[in-house]
Amino acid sequence: MVKHLDENTEAWPDHVGWRLWQASRAWQAAFVAAMRDAGHGWMTEARAALLGHIGRRGTPQSALIDRMGISKQAVQQLVDGLEGEEIISRVPDPDDRRARIVVHTQKGRLALRDADRIKREIEQAYRARLGTDRFDALKSALEALALPQDGKNPGDRGG
C-alpha cells in the first residue's frame, strides 16, 4: 500500500507549523465528535471559540471582535448561525443604540456546560497521553505564543 515510502521518507514535513495544524485539527475533530454524541450536533470549533468569549451578562459583538482576532464579518456570521440555532440571542444595548449585546439562551448555557466538561475530558486524555510534564510544557508554550507580538487584528482595517 505504501510501496513508495522508502524513497520519500526524507520528504516528510516536520516543522512546527505543520504539527500545530495537525494537532489543532485533531483536537477540533475530537471535540466536535464528542459534542455531537452529547446531542449538540450544531457545534463546531469556531462556534465553541465564540461561545467561550461570551460572559454571563452577555458581551457586545464589538468586544467579541476585539478578542477573537478575526474580522467583524466573521464574528457576525458565527453569531448569525448560533442565533439561528437558538444558542444565543442578540439584545439591544441600553447605553448605545448602535450596539447589540450577545447573550446565551437557556439552550446555550446547557450546551456550554457540556462543552466545558468535554474540553476537560479531552485535556485529561491528552495529559494522560503526553505525561503531566510534557502536557504542562505544551500549555505553557502555547500560552506564551498567544501573547500579542506585533498584534495586528485583521478586523481593524475594513469599515
Partner DNA sequence: CTTAATTGTCAAGATACTTGACTACATTTA
Partner DNA sequence: TAAATGTAGTCAAGTATCTTGACAATTAAG
* Footprint on this chain of a copy of itself (rule: CB under 8 A): 1-2, 4-5, 7-13, 15-28, 31, 45, 48-49, 52-57, 59-60, 63, 66-67, 69, 119, 122-123, 126, 129-130, 134-135, 137-146, 149
Residue 35 contacts residue 47 (beta carbons within 8 Å): no
The reply on whether position 17 binds DNA by CB under 7 A is no
The reply on whether position 110 binds DNA by CB under 7 A is no
Question: Which among 5-13, 111-119, 140-148, 150-158 is the span making contact with DNA, rule CB under 7 A?
Answer: 150-158
The reply on whether position 13 binds DNA by CB under 7 A is no
Helices 45-52 and 16-37 pack at an angle, to 10 degrees, of: 80
Instruction: Mark out the alpha helices in 38-71 (DSSP H runs).
Output: 45-52, 61-68
- Quick count: other Cβ atoms within 10 Å of Cβ 14? 6
Kind of pairing, strands 96-104 and 59-60? Answer: antiparallel
Give the span between the Cα atoms of 157 and 114, in whole angstroms.
36
Smallest gap from Cβ 84 to DNA, in A, equals: 10
- Quick count: other Cβ atoms within 10 Å of Cβ 114? 16
Give the span between the Cα atoms of 28 and 46, in whole angstroms.
9
The reply on whether position 104 binds DNA by CB under 7 A is no
Smallest gap from Cβ 68 to DNA, in A, equals: 8
Where on the chain is the footprint of DNA (CB under 7 A)? 1, 25, 44-47, 49, 60-62, 65, 70-74, 76-79, 81, 90, 93, 96-101, 154-155, 157-159
